[in-house]
Chain A
Amino acid sequence: MIDFASIISQTLFATSILIVAALGLAIIFGMMGVINLAHGALITVGAYVAYAVTNAGLSIWAAFLVAPVVVALVGLVMERTVINRLYDRPVDTLLATWGFALVIQELIKVIFGTSAQSVPNPYSAPVEIMGANLPQYRIFLTALAAGLLVVTYVTFKYTDFGVKSRAVIQNDEMAGLLGTDVRSIYMWTFMIGAGLAGLAGAAVAPIVGADPRTGLGYLVQSFFVVIVGGTGQLLAGTLGGSGLIGGSAAALSFVSSQTFAQTVVFALAIVVIRLKPEGLFGGT
């Protein structure tokens, strides 16, 4: 039995989750050009922070504050030790971040063990909207996605830091000559991207729990979101990419198995990349 309201809510929800998951990558990969294959691992760390915080008796809302900070610090370590040497070697950023992904995943296993952990859901009760029963947490996630998207966009578009950041990414030599502290801008931009990945982990944890491979599932999807949407297109790209990758998979899964839906969407994404490599919203 397929009802229209649940299709819309599922699609909207899948899109929102992907927006939250992909936003950090849209900054680190889409804007900075660092092919961050550790993005999934950073999301996993966020999910585990949520587990640790709630397990310590604190509320999940505390995790929403702690997770981005912790993961931004992980990002800081990555950026300072390795990534800052590789800004002109994109393929090597890809390899090195994959190395980090392995290391992070193994460290998680050392600290938390290999079994999956569950994280309490703050809004488990459903709420009725237009005749459909929707879990409250989904509505919260949709609002979170919209909020994050707008705040991130405004930050990079209009604030002093955002303008400097885009200037450094576009031409770091020139920006440096004009007196911008290139090193610290790169560092902060990377940390913001990592922090968003951490927040994403905490946000999905109440739904999917935390296990060492939690983030891996979002890795390929996030890359597709950023590439299909168009690298560097923070607002339109992330929104459109998430809608296409997450939304269409959710819509398709009503008429077929989830695996099949995912396969079709990946194939679709590959075709889009082939026909429009600059992304749907890229290339002005």
Chain B
Amino acid sequence: MSYIDRTKVAFGDASGSTKVILTGAVIGFLLPAVLSPYFAFLAAQYYLFALLALSLGLLWGYVGILSFGQAAFFGLGAYIMAWSFQYMFVPGINPAYVALVLAPLVNGAIAGVLGLFLFYSDVKDVYFVIITLALSVILEQLAVSVTSIFGGFNGIYLPRMAVSIPGVFNYQLSNDRLFYYVTLLALVGGYLVCRRIVRSDFGETLLAIKENEARTKSLGYNTARYKTLVFMVAGALAGVAGALYATLAQFVSPPVTGFVLSTEVVIWVAVGGRGLLLGAITGGILINAASTVLSSLVADRYILILGLIFIAVVVAFRKGVVGYVADRYDWGEKL
């Protein structure tokens, strides 16, 4: 691909999808102006869940790696943020900044080690699902039982992060509307990074691995290396989402690492549209928003409804919501 082609691909050719993304970003930017701070708080949560969903969307949609343990990275990121406030790893520096650097680094490293261990021996499909599921169960158990580090069921409280430049200003984002913009920025940034990845030559190779790993391997690609790298990126993204989530909620407890969240993310991505980054994001936002609304109407029964919708999507509407809309309006493939 020439440089010009690359630019075209990276920035799109003002197709339907670009318009949709721009519209979404503008709506996202304006939303807090018309809605209450409480809504801003909820929406900020949805965006961070959407970022978590995006990390799975990248893995599942573009390399075909289905992880049932993505929440483990999210949870670890959340705990890293909490520990950063608790122990002040680097004195004199904004602990939130430290955590936002540490979370992706630590998660990336852990994902790298797991990738080396698992992908290089060709662990995949159901085996990978069960192993990631087990890892997420293990981490949740540790978080519950090792109270000295994780605070057990009582969790760890932490303050809302501040935006600061040392010696210039230090502003705590206690206002939910302001924090909303941090999460919007993180989501859009995460999306652009993922889109950049899937539209590069690297991304082409990932798709080839998803289509037919054996063939890609025989063409000389070190597929395990590719998978490990993407797993690291996804882990890092989920870690950032978790770190921001911790300081948004100002509280971290074992369920953020756990089994239930891990499997919920899979549902968000499947319903939104596996195979599309925008599908993952949409699923993350839509389902969480819907569950807030539904749970006020039908209490916990919304899980029942969600389960039925999920089964229907898996059996009959495999492309998910965004997948069908994108097909209908011809938005292209790498959204």
Contacts and interface: CB of A to CB of B under 8 A. Distances in A.
B131 A270 contact: yes
B141 A263 contact: yes
Nearest to B142: A263
A16 to B, nearest CB: 22
Contacts of A274: 117-118, 121, 123
Contact of B300 (A109, A220, A263, A277): A109
A223 interface: yes
Given A107-B304, A262-B141, A277-B121, A220 B315 contact: no
A35 B68 CA distance: 13
A85 B311 contact: no
A259 B141 contact: yes
Contacts of A106: 300-301, 303-304, 307
A277 B130 CA distance: 12
Interface in A202-242: 216, 220, 223-224, 227
Interface residues of B, number: 38
B133 interface: yes
A275 B315 contact: no
B122 interface: yes
Interface string A35-72: 10000000000000000000000000000000000000
Interface stretch (A6-14, A89-97, A133-141, A155-163): A89-97
B306 interface: yes
Nearest to B132: A270
B129 A35 contact: yes
A82 interface: yes
A110 B315 contact: no
A146 interface: no
B138 A35 contact: no
Given A224-B130, A269-B134, A277 B311 contact: no
B214 interface: no
B134 A277 contact: no
Interface string A249-283: 00000000101101100110110011101000000
A interface, by DSSP: helix, strand, loop or mixed? helix
Interface in B235-250: none
A103 interface: yes
Nearest to A104: B307
Contacts of A188: none
B121 A96 contact: no
B66 to A, nearest CB: 6
B131 A273 contact: yes
A270 B141 CA distance: 17
B311 A100 contact: yes
B270 interface: yes
Contact of A259 (B131, B142, B263): B142
Nearest to B137: A220
B308 interface: yes
A103 to B, nearest CB: 4
Interface string B137-158: 1100110110000000000000
A263 B143 CA distance: 12
B119 to A, nearest CB: 10
Contact of B263 (A85, A98, A103): A98
A86 interface: yes
A275 B304 CA distance: 39
A190 to B, nearest CB: 16
Nearest to A37: B263
B304 A96 contact: no
Contacts of B131: 270, 273
A259 B311 contact: no
B139 to A, nearest CB: 9
